[in-house]
Amino acid sequence: MSKVIAICNQKGGVGKTTTAVNLAASFAALEKKTLLIDMDPQGNASQGLGFNESQEVDAHEILDLAVNPDNITYENLKPAILDTTLDFLKVITSGPDLAVMEIELVNAMSREHRLERVINILKQSFEYIIIDAPPSLNLLTLNVLTAATSVLIPVQCEYYALQGMTELFKTIREVQKNLNAGLKIEGALLTMYDSRLSLSKQVAEEVRENLSDTVFQAMIPRNVKLSEAPSHGKPAILYDVQSSGAQAYMKLAEEILNKDK
């Protein structure tokens, strides 16, 4: 059965897109049929895999197709599903037009379910679907949470790490109550961890104390190679597989896979 993981945190700069790209790449490296959907109009996840705004079909057109769910088939979604340098990883890219789509969604019927209609078709072809949500709690994010089976929350190991988490959990509860009763918390992921800094250790302890067993054992370190990889259009495992960042995301993928057994 396919699993749809939303990578979500309305706070920017927490490693959300880095997590989406590298978790998807790690699943693919472990030979799981994986699709990464970039639902952020900034398109950073697309760029992180070497794609730019000139792609012919992206998530904007995909949501357009979902206006009439009877017309959605895998065949007419196919033009948007692009190959990557990893055999088991495909991507649906994003671009600025997606921001326009959010405005169009405001008065649309079943506006929170557009992406869900598409995902229900895509589930038949992928074991894992990773969705990079926008860094805000907007209609696009609601679409992502409504379509997902679980939500993974990156939390940076810095001051104010838990800031905004209350609002995010409130949104998740509302989605569970009104739109997607099956939505689960996949877990909170500690990012930008620096073992040399007492602050990182304090924040990690605080997050584990507050979120208890929902926090992954895997932690993502501050890592130069992880930061450099997007500018080369590659996930960390293709840029430098031996780097601590690449290895940390592989551990995260394995932790999720073990939990799913």
Of the listed ranges 5-9, 39-43, 124-128, 159-163, the least confidently predicted one is 159-163
**Which residues contact residue 1 at a Cβ distance below 8 angstroms, ignoring those fewer than 6 apart?**
none
Answer whether 90's CB lies under 8 Å from 83's CB: yes
**Which residues contact residue 73 at a Cβ distance below 8 angstroms, ignoring those fewer than 6 apart?**
121
pLDDT on residue 160: 81
Q: What is the pLDDT of residues 135-187, one digit of tens each?
A: 988 999 999 999 999 999 999 988 887 777 888 999 999 999 999 999 999 99
Q: What is the pLDDT of residues 12-57, one digit of tens each?
A: 889 999 999 999 999 999 999 999 999 999 999 999 999 976 565 6
Where would I find the H helices in the chain? 16-29, 44-48, 59-65, 74-77, 97-105, 114-122, 139-147, 165-178, 198-211, 224-228, 236-239, 244-260
Of the listed ranges 15-19, 49-53, 125-129, 252-256, the least confidently predicted one is 49-53
Summarize the confidence of residues 111-123 as an average pLDDT: 93
pTM: 0.95
Of the listed ranges 36-50, 61-75, 117-131, the least confidently predicted one is 61-75
Kindly report the backbone phi and psi dihedral angles of residue 159, in degrees, each rounded to the nearest multiple of 5, phi listed first.
-55, 150
**Which residues contact residue 52 at a Cβ distance below 8 angstroms, ignoring those fewer than 6 apart?**
43, 46
Answer whether 151's CB lies under 8 Å from 8's CB: yes
